[in-house]
Structure 1
Amino acid sequence: MTTFRNIAIVGPYSSGKTTLLESLLYVSGVITRKGSISDKNTVGDAAAEARDRQMSTEVTAASLEHGGLSFNFLDCPGSVELLQETLNVLVGVDAAVVVCEPEPDRVLTLAPLFQTLDEWEIPHLVFINKMDRSHTEFNEVLAALKQVSGRPLVMHQYPIGNGETLTGFIDLVSEQAYQYHPDAAADPIPFPAELKAQEQAAHAAMLETLADFDDHLLEELLEDVEPPQEEVLQDFKAELGADQIVPVFIGEADKEFGVRPLLDALVKEAPDSSETAARRGLHAEAERPVAQVLKTFLSSQGGKLSLVRIWQGQLNDGMTLNEARIGGIYHLTGQQQKSTLQAEAGEIVVLSRMEPIKTGDTLTVAGKALSLPKANPLEPVFSLAIKPENRKDEVKLSGAIAKLIQEDPGLSWEHRDATHEMILWGQGDIHLQIAKDRLGRKFNLPVSTNTPHVPYKESIRKAAHSHGRYKHQTGGHGQFGDVHLDIQPQSRGEGFRFQEKIVGGSVPRQYIPGVETGVREFLRQGTLGFPVVDVSVTLTDGAYHSVDSSEQAFKQAARIAMQSGLANCDPVLLEPIERVTLSTPASLTSKVLGVITHHRGQILGYEPKKDWSGWDEISAYLPMAEMQTLIIELRSQTQGVGFFNWQDDHLEIVPDKVAERVLTQVETAPAA
């Protein structure tokens, strides 16, 4: 039985993940020539949206053989706006390689990723890339990493350099020094005497950390016994597999420096797919097939591909899972597909034409439902109003967006009745611009976007009495209705109430519903131009004509009364207020508090974030009108790691200066 290992490559934007994948494929012989991001010819980032932006926009899968094992690598986008892609994939991997740059100031960007990996107990190691660009002492980088990792970091290698140039490394397990060579494996070299003290300290620190989880190794250290290399490697494998430690490797992916040792370590120390399955309560050798969808791809021709992790059993072409028949099984290397008739437990493959299934679904044979843990959709934090450039395409838009969400569950949409807009939600402007591009390219549906309108409301601050008469004479019967209304404000959130106190039949009972209808219709757009809320209207008196009166006439009379009366009730503009919970590193809390106050926010308080060491959680009220750019400024102040959740809370009176600006925009909108 083939042994598989499924590895996610994760890390911040521009850390070099796609370049690392390219080098992994190159040194293992899958490709004979490396591509580059700038030349737009890498195996990863092959989608048009990725190459236009020179950044990963979706997961790339690729397979290789090394050390007698089959590896499936999943290169994940680094942009925080595309985090949903990464989360969806992480549920199906055996381990993750966290790629970062040797810049202490940027290490904070790894904090949420480390938190997720630890929370989900996914074994992970760190590959410090671009060591040739480091202007910082290696120990400073390591210290910064320790501050954001919830698990102890264990140096597996120590760098050898010439000035700022990385020339090799020392393997801290074997204590053998190596020199890098372009396009070739590193060669053993004599131990550099000038690094003896630093290497010994790093070696001792490595053993001490491993001994925290191995009593036998601790006894050896206490007795000054140097443990055998095999024992140390077994500790790395056991403790990495249990997500107790985070081994640290170094290199320069663009030159393949450190790539081969990284692959070797994944062979010797990363957990097998069968071990991961056992932790999920599954057995790779069992006959019953169980798989999980990690990603959905939709081609421009409309074909659907589902990237799945096989946890248990074997999949065969034509097999039916979840009442859907497999239309083909393929191994992926970037966008290249290689057909196969079957795939076994531990593999990550693509299934075609599984139309009913969605990302995150657990697949098994009919009649035996099963649900494995999956990533929850992230809360949306940014929105755009969207409409087709060609009005004839309006009927196609909702269907196209629904398909887009199949491919990217981080998107969502709503039709906002109050503003008559279709709103597309996501994790930021880049995220939504990518979605816009896909609508044009994959569905031939070019769209335009704009900032959504705020669904303002209006209400009143004082009571008034109003009279309305509608009299209209035609050649035959005329129209006559006469009403007296008392208009009063209600407490915020009480809504609309209609009453009648007619005495003596001044308004016949059959016409009173027409009065209420007229009032309700007028409140759809009040004197300020917005729907009116929290108002009580009482019909107190009126008059009718035995021939000319009708329900329609009384409806018109009510509208006339409301138009004149509401203007005398001191109308006021209301805006929706959101309750927002913001999460930020504690060191940056003061900056985030400043962002909140800058956005007319009301700070309710803050406290340490539960289960997040060194993080704060801030509660606040913010006007919806100020929410559009909140995520942009929050990420700007927190190196991209701050995030928030929100929910509609209440309506509040708009400050006078803001109200003036809003009403001016309403008045000038028709002319524009």
Structure 2
Amino acid sequence: MRCFTVLGPSQTGKSTVVEKLGSLEGTPRKSSSPYGLNLTEFTFGNEAWCALDAPGPNEALAHAQHALLASDACILCVSSAPEEAVLAAPYLRIIEASGTPCILFVNRMDEPRGRVRDVIAALQDYASHTLLLRQIPIREGDRIIGSCDLISERAWRYREGQPSALIAIPESTAEREHEARTELLEQLSEFDDRLLEELIEDREPSSDALYAISSRVLRENRIIPVLIGAASHGNGMMRLMKALRHEAPPVGILRQRLAQRGTVDESKLVAVSFHAYHRQNVGKTVLVRALGEGLRQGASLGGSSLGAVQNLANGRSNSAVLPAPGDVFATVKSDHLPVPSLLTAGAVVAPPEWTEPPTPMLERILVPGSERDENKLSETLAKLSETDRGLKVLQEEGTGAQLVRAQGPVHLRELCRTLAEVFHISVTDRTPSPTYRETIAKPSEVHYRHRKQTGGAGQFADVKLSIHPNERGQGFTFGETIKGGAVPRNYFPAVEAGAREAMEKGPLGFEVIDVGVTLLDGQYHAVDSSEHAFRTASKMGVRQALAEGSTVLMQPVFRSEFHIPSVYSGSLVQIVSALNGQVLGFDRDETAKGWDIFRALVPGGALDDLARALRSATQGIGYFSKTFDHFEELYGKEADAIVRAKEKSGSAH
């Protein structure tokens, strides 16, 4: 079986392309994953094929990345409008990072939205590979009625619902055809000395030789050929499928590529797992592509026995099925197989770095609908995060509530739908609160005596403490300047422990940071003093000093790193400034053509607004990662509102 991925931005006709390709020589067999990756099996040219139809939203980019792990080649569907080229930038990025041979298909050519050469020029801004135009459109006025193949120099007129008709190259197209063919030959000659020699000697190369060169450079991932058509009308489908059949590499090349880019011996690499999902009453289903011999139910794969092998179309298990190299199959009761991963008989090998999805930007607390839901939620989220690398599961600091990081609102809705439909867990979501802190603005001293007489031995401890601000980031410090044994040394740890305990919650309701406490003086009683008494005196004294002092609210600030196409870099300055952030600068992204890495400091309370603004400004393409940098003072109405909200939440408990 040969396997390819069809990917690209939303509304570029990917599913229609798969449907039309699968119907060229029969009836395709389609199966769907609850998470959006659709598989279509079909036959073409007496060969079995499997098309992986990756979902279009950028929030589902991880599914496309994982599909490429199992693909011999891919088809990138793009719009025929030059101004929409930037929408393909994330897909070109992951395709080039993966090393997957790619055919670029300009779809919906029946809609006159721009010239093909302008589309290619706009896309080239985001592709390190040369985009090599293999066809040009034939026009009648504003309508595209056919295409001309630049290698065979044959022209075809589109016919609705029928194979295209062979025609002579129209005079109106001849000049453009000659120009485009000359450019194609010059670009191909960079990869073939014999062709270069023929061009220098002004000899006409044969079509067979040119097709052979085209096949070789695609298999070697040297160029990205560009074909055109309109899938909704069936236009260009046969040419696209023939290019896949004759030029896409076999599964053995995929095995070599994965071994070279990973840390696994090619001879031991027998399969890849590339997708998984959970089904009610079935459990975890893993999609696997065989790369070697010997796979069957019960065989060793990934260090344990392979579970039941299922038919992709009907989900039925068949122990007699023996997947051959290249075959794609589903397996259940194989929970030991992570996704994605490279698999040998005895081990699971981590996938290449390029399979790592973008950092999830949307943070939400999931609130279970009942106590039963609460008991199941943590375990279920752990299961789902195993099959969805774009999802991160944590616990909210302070409350322990379930916090999820999703790729965006669509991803979050899919998560909640899966929880409800598959696991019968009802949840709502809310925005988490930033982790605020408080500190003091000026030093103070306090004298506190703890005395308690309850019959028998009492409690006595007397402390004089100095409390002062520390440098930002220094945290809590403790010292003592006791002279003459006013407080015995064995009580110093108790005084420090009491001071630390007082820092857990300050007057504003938050943890106190960057404060130093010094034990200046005190008194003790030979009978009634104890560690407990000095701990209590210290805690109460520090609390009194904090309450009487000048406390300041501290907000977290995060160092954020944005990955965006260069055309959007200018808009980020305004976005960050509007959110009271600080721009640090930007550089060209050396790993992806046409992308920038933009850095800024952003308050924690603005991160949710930042994610929304970034999605809006970059059409959902840009993403950012964040790491905590420091705390800074926050004053005014915003600080007052945060304190009031904290008081309200505290009184609610």
Instruction: State the distance in 2 between where 1:203 and 1:655 align.
Output: 67
Are 1:27 and 1:260, in contact at CA under 8 Å, matched by a contact in 2? yes
**Match status 1:571 vs 2:568:** no
Q: TM-score normalised to the size of structure 1?
A: 0.89
Are 1:498 and 1:538, in contact at CA under 8 Å, matched by a contact in 2? yes
Deviation, 1:74, is: 0.9
Partner residue of 2:369?
Answer: 389
Where in structure 2 are the equivalents of 1:340-379 lying within 5 Å?
341-366=321-346, 373=352, 375-379=355-359
Query: Aligned AA for 1:107?
Result: A
Deviation, 1:256, is: 2.1
Partner residue of 2:12?
Answer: 15
**Match status 1:539 vs 2:519:** yes
Stretch deviating more after TM superposition (170-179 or 235-244): 170-179
103, 117, 123: which one pairs with 1:145?
123
Partner residue of 1:558?
Answer: 538
**Match status 1:129 vs 2:107:** yes
Are 2:70 and 2:272, in contact at CA under 8 Å, matched by a contact in 1? yes
**Match status 1:28 vs 2:25:** yes
Stretch deviating more after TM superposition (106-115 or 661-670): 661-670
Are 1:173 and 1:233, in contact at CA under 8 Å, matched by a contact in 2? yes
Instruction: State the distance in 1 between where 2:451 and 2:335 align.
Output: 62
Are 2:32 and 2:39, in contact at CA under 8 Å, matched by a contact in 1? no
Query: Aligned AA for 1:646?
Result: K
Cα 1:233–1:441 shift into 2, 3 Å: same
Instruction: State the distance in 2 between where 1:331 and 1:302 align.
Output: 14
Partner residue of 2:279?
Answer: 299
Query: Aligned AA for 2:82?
Result: P
Partner residue of 1:651?
Answer: 631
Partner residue of 1:212?
Answer: 190
Instruction: State the distance in 2 between where 1:399 and 1:347 align.
Output: 33
Instruction: State the distance in 2 between where 1:429 and 1:468 align.
Output: 53
Are 1:601 and 1:621, in contact at CA under 8 Å, matched by a contact in 2? yes
Instruction: State the distance in 2 between where 1:583 and 1:373 align.
Output: 20
Stretch deviating more after TM superposition (442-451 or 185-194): 185-194
Q: TM-score normalised to the size of structure 2?
A: 0.92
**Match status 1:277 vs 2:259:** no
Stretch deviating more after TM superposition (265-274 or 172-181): 172-181
Instruction: State the distance in 1 between where 2:259 and 2:400 align.
Output: 49
Instruction: State the distance in 2 between where 1:605 and 1:148 align.
Output: 21
Deviation, 1:449, is: 1.0
3-state SS of 1:65 partner: strand
Partner residue of 1:53?
Answer: none
Instruction: State the distance in 1 between where 2:414 and 2:645 align.
Output: 30
Provide the aligned C-alpha RMSD in A.
2.6
Partner residue of 1:484?
Answer: 464
Are 1:15 and 1:99, in contact at CA under 8 Å, matched by a contact in 2? yes
Instruction: State the distance in 2 between where 1:341 and 1:152 align.
Output: 42
3-state SS of 1:661 partner: helix
Deviation, 1:408, is: 0.6
Partner residue of 1:245?
Answer: 223
3-state SS of 2:464 partner: strand
Instruction: State the distance in 2 between where 1:524 and 1:215 align.
Output: 74
Instruction: State the distance in 2 between where 1:377 and 1:112 align.
Output: 11
Where in structure 2 are the equivalents of 1:306-325 lying within 5 Å?
306-325=286-305
Query: Aligned AA for 1:659?
Result: A
1:543-589 Cα deviation digits (max 9, x unpaired)? 44555554444333323312221134421111222112223333332
3-state SS of 1:271 partner: coil
Cα 1:504–1:491 shift into 2, 3 Å: same
Partner residue of 2:2?
Answer: 5
Instruction: State the distance in 2 between where 1:501 and 1:392 align.
Output: 55
Instruction: State the distance in 2 between where 1:164 and 1:217 align.
Output: 36
Cα 1:338–1:229 shift into 2, 3 Å: farther
Partner residue of 1:612?
Answer: 592
Instruction: State the distance in 1 between where 2:47 and 2:28 align.
Output: 18
Deviation, 1:472, is: 4.3
Query: Aligned AA for 1:10?
Result: L
Instruction: State the distance in 2 between where 1:372 and 1:397 align.
Output: 28
Deviation, 1:73, is: 1.1
3-state SS of 2:410 partner: helix
**Match status 1:529 vs 2:509:** yes
Deviation, 1:293, is: 1.0
Instruction: State the distance in 2 between where 1:387 and 1:279 align.
Output: 44
Are 1:421 and 1:452, in contact at CA under 8 Å, matched by a contact in 2? no
Deviation, 1:513, is: 4.2
Runs ≥4 in structure 1, deviation > 6 angstroms?
none
Are 2:443 and 2:466, in contact at CA under 8 Å, matched by a contact in 1? yes
Deviation, 1:660, is: 2.7
Partner residue of 2:263?
Answer: none
Instruction: State the distance in 1 between where 2:404 and 2:638 align.
Output: 26
3-state SS of 1:314 partner: coil
476, 482, 485: which one pairs with 1:496?
476
Query: Aligned AA for 2:242?
Result: D
Instruction: State the distance in 2 between where 1:555 and 1:469 align.
Output: 11
603, 627, 650: which one pairs with 1:623?
603
Where in structure 2 are the equivalents of 1:68-87 lying within 5 Å?
68-87=46-65
Instruction: State the distance in 1 between where 2:512 and 2:491 align.
Output: 23
3-state SS of 2:23 partner: helix
Instruction: State the distance in 1 between where 2:589 and 2:486 align.
Output: 64
Instruction: State the distance in 1 between where 2:362 and 2:508 align.
Output: 28
1:583-631 Cα deviation digits (max 9, x unpaired)? 3333332111221212222122222222433333222211222222323
Deviation, 1:528, is: 1.3
Where in structure 2 are the equivalents of 1:187-226 lying within 5 Å?
187-226=165-204
3-state SS of 2:21 partner: helix
Cα 1:544–1:535 shift into 2, 3 Å: same
307, 314, 321: which one pairs with 1:327?
307
Stretch deviating more after TM superposition (438-447 or 563-572): 563-572
Query: Aligned AA for 1:14?
Result: Q
Are 2:311 and 2:317, in contact at CA under 8 Å, matched by a contact in 1? yes
Query: Aligned AA for 1:124?
Result: C
Instruction: State the distance in 1 between where 2:294 and 2:170 align.
Output: 51
**Match status 1:642 vs 2:635:** no
Partner residue of 1:171?
Answer: 149
Query: Aligned AA for 2:462?
Result: D
Long gaps (5+) in structure 1: 33-42, 48-56
1:615-654 Cα deviation digits (max 9, x unpaired)? 3322221122222232332232223332323222222222
Deviation, 1:288, is: 5.7
Deviation, 1:475, is: 6.6
1:12-49 Cα deviation digits (max 9, x unpaired)? 122221222222223332349xxxxxxxxxx46663xx
Instruction: State the distance in 1 between where 2:542 and 2:534 align.
Output: 12
Partner residue of 1:459?
Answer: 439
3-state SS of 2:172 partner: helix
Query: Aligned AA for 1:18?
Result: S
Are 1:84 and 1:409, in contact at CA under 8 Å, matched by a contact in 2? yes
Instruction: State the distance in 1 between where 2:80 and 2:348 align.
Output: 46
Deviation, 1:164, is: 4.7
Are 2:109 and 2:229, in contact at CA under 8 Å, matched by a contact in 1? yes
Are 2:273 and 2:339, in contact at CA under 8 Å, matched by a contact in 1? yes
The sequence identity of aligned pairs, in percent, is: 32
Deviation, 1:124, is: 0.3
Deviation, 1:477, is: 5.8
Query: Aligned AA for 2:108?
Result: K
Instruction: State the distance in 2 between where 1:617 and 1:18 align.
Output: 33
Query: Aligned AA for 2:199?
Result: L
3-state SS of 2:412 partner: helix
3-state SS of 1:628 partner: helix
Partner residue of 2:68?
Answer: 90
